[in-house]
Structure 1
Amino acid sequence: MQKVIILHNKIENNTPDELDVLEQKELVSKACASLGYEVKSLTVGDQLKADLQAVASSKPDIVFNLVEATWGKGELIYFAPAMLNSFKIPYTGVPLDALFVTTNKVLAKKMMLKDDLPTAPFFTINEIHLLNPQKKYIVKPIWEEASVGISEESIFSLADSDKVNRIKKLAVSQFFIEEFIDGREFNISILASKNGPEVLPPAEMIFSEYFKDKPNIVGYKAKWDETSEEYNQTNRSFGTLECHPVLKQELIDICIKSWKVFNLHGYARIDFRLDKLDNIYILEINGNPCIAPDSGFIAAIEHRGYSHCEVIKRILTDLN
C-alpha cells in the first residue's frame, strides 16, 4: 500500500482564507483513503526544516501539497515544494518554478507578454505618472492570493487625488498597478489527464444589482465574508458561454497554452476578464487553487460530472 502524506500549513491567523485548508485536507484524506492509500497528515509551521525532515522520515511515496503559506505569509508558498525538491520527495500540484512565478503577479504578467498571452497593461507604483487620466486602474498586492488586499477601495483613477497620494506611498516591491478591465469575469479550472490538461466548464461570476454603482470585482469580502453583501450578491454560473462557442474555444485555447508556458501540473485555475468588446485578459494564474468542497474548482469538476476521487486520483498521477 502506497503512503500519501497530506502536507498543509499550520494555522497562524484563523482567517477564513487560511482555515479553509482544513476542509481541503478532509476532502483529500477521504478520497485518498477511498483510493486505497495509507494516509497521514502533517503540517509546516515555524520549524520549517524540522517539519520537512519529519515528512522525509515518514518515507512517503507521495506528498499531497496543500501548503498555502509559510509562517502565515502567502508570498512564501514556494518554500515547502523547494524543501520537498531538496529531499527528492514526489509531490502534487504545480512545481516549484511554476509556483514561484505564478505567485508573483508581475513576473507572471511579464511571462504572459513574452509568450503572447493576453493580460491588462500594468505599471509599477513609481510609474503612476504614466497612467491615462481617462481610464480606471486597480492597485494589487504583488504576492498575495485569495483576493487578500482587494476591495472597491483598490479601484481608482488619476482624479482620485487622495487615493493616488496613498498609492504613491506603497512599497514598489509589494504592490503594482493594473488597468481595470470593467466587464465580465470568468474562472476556468484545469485538471491533468493522461491526454494532457483538461479544461473544465467555464464559470462566470455574476454580479447582482447590488454592484450597479460599485466596481464589479471579487474582492476579499466577496470570496470569504459570508455575512457581507459582496459575498451574497456574487454568484457563480456555468453555461453562460454556450451561445458563444468561438469565445469559449478561445478561452480554452488560452488555458491550454498557459498550462504549457507556465509548466503547470496537477490542477490550476485561471481568472479572466472580458471587456465590453469581448477582448480577453488574464487576471492571474492560480497554481494549486482551493479544493475545499465549496470552492470554484470543485464546483467545476462536479459540473463536469467527476467525483472527488476521480479528481484526486488524477492529481496524484501528475507528480513533480
Structure 2
Amino acid sequence: MVFNLVEDDDWKLYLRVGHRLEQLGRVQVGHDMKSFRYVINKSLVKRRMAKERITTPNFKIFNRRSSIRSYGLSYPIIVKPARQHAGIGIAQDSVVNNFDELKKHISNLFSQFPGEVIAEEYIDGREIHVTILGNDVNIMTLPYCEIGFGKKSKNKWKIYTYNAKWDKKSWEYWNAHVQSPPDISSCLQNKIQELALKAYTTFACRDIARFDFRIDSKNTPYIVDVNMNPSLNYYDEEDATIASVYALKWTYDQFIETVAGVAYRRVLGS
C-alpha cells in the first residue's frame, strides 16, 4: 500500500513515480494516473463541468493565440493559470475589474507559466472545501470546512491565494483560518453534497478527493477546484481536510488507517 507524497510544481515527477508504481502493480491510495493527468489540466475540468452541468462560475479559456475578450462574463473576474496547483499563480491582483486589467494579467500569466489561462467570474461569498472518502456506493463526505477571512480582508479580495496558503510572512496567511464544521443551513449543505458527489463520480475519483466551493449571495454553490490529491499534512494547522477529520473526533492515525482501508477494499474487496 503506497501513499504517493511526491509533489513538484509541474507534477512530472509525481506522475513518473505513479506510473512506475502502476507498472509494478503496487496499490496506490487515491486516483489512477490517467484520471489525475486529466484533472491537473483545469481547462479540461472546467469544460467537463460545463458539459455535465456541474455548477461552476462562468468562464473563458485563453491560449497564446487567443483574442482576449470578456464578452459573456461579468466583472469582477478572477484570472488563473490552468496547469498550476496549490494556489500557485493566484494573488490579490488575480481579480480584475475591467478589460484593461484582464488583458494585462493574462499577459503576465503567459509570461510566467506554460499552458492556458482561465478567466472566470469571481464569486463574492464564502469558500467551503469538501473532502470525500470512499468508492462506488460506499462514499461519505467529511464535515465541510470553511476558509474564513479575517478583518484584514476589508477592502481586499476574499480569495485563498498562494500567500494565504503558504507564506507565513504574509498578512494573508494569518488572516485566513479554517473552521469545521461551518455554520450553514441544511438546504445549502444538501446542495453542496449533491454537486460534490456528482463531481466525484464524473471525474472518476477514488478513495479520497477534495472539492473547493464558492457560495454566492443566493446560496448557490459553485465548484472552483477539483483536487484528487488533497493535502494530508499533519503539521499544517490550517489544512482543510485535516480540519474536517478532527471535526469527526478522529485522530490523524485513525484517518490514515481509514483511507488505507478504503483503498484496500477497492483493490482486494471486503
- Return the alpha-carbon distance in structure 1 between the equivalents of residues 203 and 129 of structure 2: 18
Amino acid aligned to 1:239: P
1:291 aligns with 2:232: yes
C-alpha distance after superposition, 1:70-116 (max 9, x if no partner): xx523664332222222222211111122112211111111212222
3-state SS in 2 of match to 1:65: coil
3-state SS in 1 of match to 2:120: strand
Q: Deviation of residue 133 (structure 1)?
A: 7.5
Under a length normalisation based on structure 1, what TM-score does the superposition of the two structures give? Answer: 0.73
3-state SS in 2 of match to 1:306: coil
Is the alpha carbon distance of 1:184 and 1:127 closer, same or farther for their aligned partners in structure 2, counting shifts above 3 Å? farther
Question: Could you tell me which of 70, 75, 79 is aligned with 1:135?
Answer: 75
Amino acid aligned to 2:40: T
1:91 aligns with 2:28: yes
Q: Deviation of residue 134 (structure 1)?
A: 4.9
Question: Does the CA-based 8 Å contact 1:197-1:259 persist in structure 2?
Answer: no
1:110 aligns with 2:50: no
Amino acid aligned to 1:192: G
- Return the alpha-carbon distance in structure 2 between the equivalents of residues 78 and 128 of structure 1: 32
- Return the alpha-carbon distance in structure 1 between the equivalents of residues 120 and 16 of structure 2: 27
3-state SS in 1 of match to 2:227: strand
1:196 aligns with 2:138: yes
Question: Could you tell me which of 224, 238, 243 is aligned with 2:166?
Answer: 224
Is the alpha carbon distance of 1:89 and 1:133 closer, same or farther for their aligned partners in structure 2, counting shifts above 3 Å? closer
C-alpha root-mean-square deviation of aligned residues, in Å? 2.3
C-alpha distance after superposition, 1:202-258 (max 9, x if no partner): 11111122112111101011101122111111111223334x101111111222222
Partner of 1:165: 104
Q: Which runs of 5+ in 2 are unaligned?
A: none
Is the alpha carbon distance of 1:272 and 1:313 closer, same or farther for their aligned partners in structure 2, counting shifts above 3 Å? same
Larger radius of gyration: 1
Partner of 1:45: none
1:309 aligns with 2:253: yes
Under a length normalisation based on structure 2, what TM-score does the superposition of the two structures give? Answer: 0.86
C-alpha distance after superposition, 1:135-190 (max 9, x if no partner): 1111111111110110011111325x255235246548242212111111101111
C-alpha distance after superposition, 1:41-91 (max 9, x if no partner): xxxxxxxxxxxxxxxxxxxxx22211222xx52366433222222222221
3-state SS in 2 of match to 1:197: strand
- Return the alpha-carbon distance in structure 1 between the equivalents of residues 175 and 108 of structure 2: 33
Aligned residues between the structures: 255
Question: Does the CA-based 8 Å contact 1:265-1:318 persist in structure 2?
Answer: no
Q: How does 1:202-221 map to 2 (within 5 A)?
A: 202-221=144-163
3-state SS in 1 of match to 2:225: strand
Question: Could you tell me which of 188, 195, 198 is aligned with 1:247?
Answer: 188
- Return the alpha-carbon distance in structure 2 between the equivalents of residues 280 and 94 of structure 1: 25
Question: Could you tell me which of 280, 284, 290 is aligned with 2:221?
Answer: 280
- Return the alpha-carbon distance in structure 1 between the equivalents of residues 154 and 24 of structure 2: 52
Question: Does the CA-based 8 Å contact 1:75-1:144 persist in structure 2?
Answer: no
Q: Deviation of residue 132 (structure 1)?
A: 5.2
- Identity level (%): 27
Amino acid aligned to 1:231: Y
- Return the alpha-carbon distance in structure 2 between the equivalents of residues 304 and 96 of structure 1: 30
